[in-house]
Structure 1
Amino acid sequence: MNKTKFKIGSSKRAAAMMIALAVVSGTMVVEARKRRVVFAPPPAPAPAPDPRPEPVPAPAPAPAPAPAPAPAPAPAPSGSYDPMTVQLPDVPSNFDVNSELVKAWGTGAIPASALPDVVGAFRFICNASHLSYDDPIVYPGQPGKSHLHQYFGNTSADANSTYTSLRTTGSSTCNSPLNRSAYWMPAMMNGKGQVIKPDYVSVYYKRRPKTDPLCAKIGTACVDLPRGLRFVFGYNMLNTTAKPTGGGYFNCDGPGAIPGHYKDLPTAQANCPVTARVGAVISAPECWDGKNLDSADHRSHVAYSAYIGQAYAQCPTTHPYVIPTFTMGVWYSQGTAVEPWHLSSDVMANGTMMPAGTTFHADWFGAWDSSVMNMWASNCVNLLLNCSGGDLGNGKQLKMYSGFSWTANPRVVTAPGA
């Protein structure tokens, strides 16, 4: 109250006002006690929207003037559709899982963080497995129907392979039979009826951690690879006018190499002396529809993310589940002379020869031991670790199979049936 002069009778009026205020205040306190609410005098100015009850309905970060159709970040909000219900029943390994695990790097060390990268990484190395004219995805139950394939991973993969058969039979050239997945691509040919065997194959699985808020912006959520998933990626042999997927390219690495993303084999070999290796590199899709483990064209149930005006790539709304993708690099020595190579798929069914290497594609039929896949997904990927050499991110590592070599021996073999 400001101390201005009062006119006549001001002291009497002041006394009366004090008595009146005391009565009113006493009444308010009594009423407040009855309601068990602590009375607070109302703010002097008009009732501005400064709500007294603490629970504020909207979170506060920039109130968007719309009911928020996109739910807040989180992997699949409770009560929503769970895509993992479509995966096949688990088929446990028919051997002791622990017999195929060793202390990571002999010490049980935990890998370093992948930061500043935003994806967790799990890497391992494979050798070549067998050659076959089979394709259990495109031509299931039809042995000998496809072009010649070079297989990696499961040593028993053939035209009749299923998820169950892959999980229960065969060894693996990808570290350990804990990974009985089958990977395959067209065989590399030298034009003399012979196959060039790759020295080794590097496989690199990666994805953002499930807790990354961008999982809910790239798609609906980041999820694990479902059991039984399979797909084809790269050049589309069933629709040759379609744009190839997977960003496949050829590279060169080693002494005298001129590295690059070469679109065909002749260009890559021209920049790759005999002292270096030629690499065929391709990446699998990272978006899944959450409903199908395969599709009629063996591609439509999966997709690739793309930049559509955001600072990050987004999955199509039809394929909202972000799965770990993998990049496969297949590396070949050139021997004592550079020869004109081509892929077996470059020779079309009608005999037409496509430019060498331009039909590059690959197939994948997942058959990991579920407990081990959970290890690398939970640790390497979801904890944003930088795992290599089959390191599972928990102090354990896949045992490397007996007979692994960094160099193919023999390097050149006769094509089956030639």
Structure 2
Amino acid sequence: MPSTTSFSAALLIGGFAGRVAHAYTQVNVASPFMYKNIDPIVFPGQYNKSHLHSFYGSDAVTASTTTSAQLQAGCTNVENPNDLSVYWTPTLLYQNGESWDPVPVVRFSAYYSLGDNKAEVPIPQNLQMVAGLSSATTADAMPTEAHIEWFCENSEGGPADENGFPSSTCATHLQQLLYFPNCVNVDTLETGYKAGEPGNYKACPTGMKAMPQLRFSIRYDLRKVVPNGWSGTAPVKLACGNAFCTHGDFINGWTEDAAQNMVETTSTKTKFAAVNGGLGSDGEKPTCTSADADPDHGTSDYAESVAAMSKRSIPAFGWTSRNRMARTY
């Protein structure tokens, strides 16, 4: 079991339960297809309000995207042709000379839990969801239902530093886990979490039905960009600030037949269940090349995104400057 840097006892318990093997399906993405300072859920149509995000999935996404049909007209870099959803997170950054650049992503995985009992409904078309809170600057301010964790995969990472990241070098990857709501009102598209926690969920809120639960698992590789490692404060920050502000966004782009097939697979208790559909089979590599659908608006540069928000520095959001680096491997 890797050393966790969860932010509270409740999150630690949720993290351990979240890594117990349950029935699930997943889609994998090798890397983001785009970095951009847009957020079509929180700041629709705007290019000067959002921090920098890393985008995975359908490249049809723009600052104004609202529907599954819009995403389904695009090209996806997900390894399942039936999944034209778009997934995004605040970009993780490291200092490269005078600039802050994105930390390489080894793999982004979107897991869909098929776990405690069979889902009642598929993930609806046009569903939008957010997990986590971008304005959080402390562990206490984080939504506990998202069961967020940062930890070193397969190695010790020490306790969390003042920013919520591991306080010593990760021998392999820095990993993040993040859980989305697993209940939905199919008429209003309002979402919520079941009572309980991963591995021991109970009932949905009144008026909602259970759907497959989305979970992000993101693996970052710091070994090349921070070759000397660190001891103390991790030399990284999120575009929104420290680790406590992390969050995930999702607009559903699964084809309707594949989304329904996902429900049917939730009746199994095997460790993995493939979700196929009319566009192909699970695991098929992308056959198209993703590109920014709106290259004339917004920016992929962190400094430009900060300037667009009229913010002088992200540390104002809670990130604390790193300590002296020390080689640890």
- What TM-score, normalized to structure 1? 0.54
Number of matched pairs: 261
Q: What residue number does 2:271 align with? A: 386
Letter of the structure 2 residue corresponding to residue 304 of structure 1: Y
Deviations 1:364-391 (CA, angstroms, capped at 9, x unpaired): 100111122223332x323334336x55
Letter of the structure 2 residue corresponding to residue 251 of structure 1: F
Q: Is the 8 A contact 1:176 1:399 kept in 2?
A: yes
Q: Is the 8 A contact 1:155 1:172 kept in 2?
A: yes
CA distance in 1, matches of 2:214, 2:256: 17
Of the two structures, which has the highest relative contact order with CA contacts closer than 8 Å and spacing of 6 or more? Answer: 2
Displacement of 1:121: 1.3
User: Which of 63, 69, 76 lines up with 1:172 in the alignment?
Assistant: 76
The question of 1:250 aligning with 2:150 is answered yes
Q: What residue number does 2:246 align with? A: 360
Deviations 1:4-50 (CA, angstroms, capped at 9, x unpaired): xxxxxxxxxxxxxxxxxxxxxxxxxxxxxxxxxxxxxxxxxxxxxxx
What CA RMSD, in Å, does the superposition of the two structures yield over aligned residues?
3.5
* Alpha carbons of structure 1 residues 185 and 281: separation in structure 2 relative to 1, 3 Å: same
Displacement of 1:333: 0.7
Q: What residue number does 2:23 align with? A: 120
Q: Is the 8 A contact 1:179 1:369 kept in 2?
A: yes
Displacement of 1:323: 1.0
Q: What residue number does 2:3 align with? A: none
User: Which of 332, 354, 362 lines up with 2:220 in the alignment?
Assistant: 332
The question of 1:200 aligning with 2:200 is answered no
Give the 5 Å matches for 1:283-294.
283-293=179-189
Residue aligned with 1:371, SS: helix
Q: Is the 8 A contact 2:115 2:266 kept in 1?
A: yes
Displacement of 1:227: 1.0
* Alpha carbons of structure 1 residues 239 and 249: separation in structure 2 relative to 1, 3 Å: closer
Q: Is the 8 A contact 1:118 1:384 kept in 2?
A: no
Q: What residue number does 1:146 align with? A: 50
The question of 1:230 aligning with 2:128 is answered yes
User: Which of 230, 234, 238 lines up with 1:343 in the alignment?
Assistant: 238
Q: Is the 8 A contact 1:250 1:263 kept in 2?
A: no
> Which protein is bigger by CA-based radius of gyration?
1
Q: What residue number does 1:315 align with? A: 203
Q: What residue number does 2:295 align with? A: none
Letter of the structure 2 residue corresponding to residue 198 of structure 1: V
User: Which of 256, 260, 264 lines up with 1:370 in the alignment?
Assistant: 256
Residue aligned with 2:201, SS: coil
Deviations 1:222-257 (CA, angstroms, capped at 9, x unpaired): 221111111111125399985424111102124xx1
Residue aligned with 1:159, SS: coil
* Alpha carbons of structure 1 residues 329 and 169: separation in structure 2 relative to 1, 3 Å: same
Residue aligned with 2:166, SS: helix
Q: What residue number does 2:285 align with? A: 400
Q: Is the 8 A contact 2:110 2:216 kept in 1?
A: yes
CA distance in 1, matches of 2:23, 2:91: 31
CA distance in 2, matches of 1:207, 1:362: 20
Give percent identity, aligned residues only. 20
Q: What residue number does 1:60 align with? A: none
Unaligned runs of 5+ in 1: 1-116, 216-220, 294-300, 347-355, 405-412
- What TM-score, normalized to structure 2? 0.68
Displacement of 1:167: 3.3
CA distance in 1, matches of 2:65, 2:146: 24
Letter of the structure 2 residue corresponding to residue 151 of structure 1: F
Unaligned runs of 5+ in 2: 1-19, 290-299, 306-329
Q: Is the 8 A contact 1:303 1:315 kept in 2?
A: no
User: Which of 178, 185, 189 lines up with 1:282 in the alignment?
Assistant: 178
Letter of the structure 1 residue corresponding to residue 132 of structure 2: G
User: Which of 134, 150, 173 lines up with 2:38 in the alignment?
Assistant: 134
* Alpha carbons of structure 1 residues 146 and 249: separation in structure 2 relative to 1, 3 Å: same
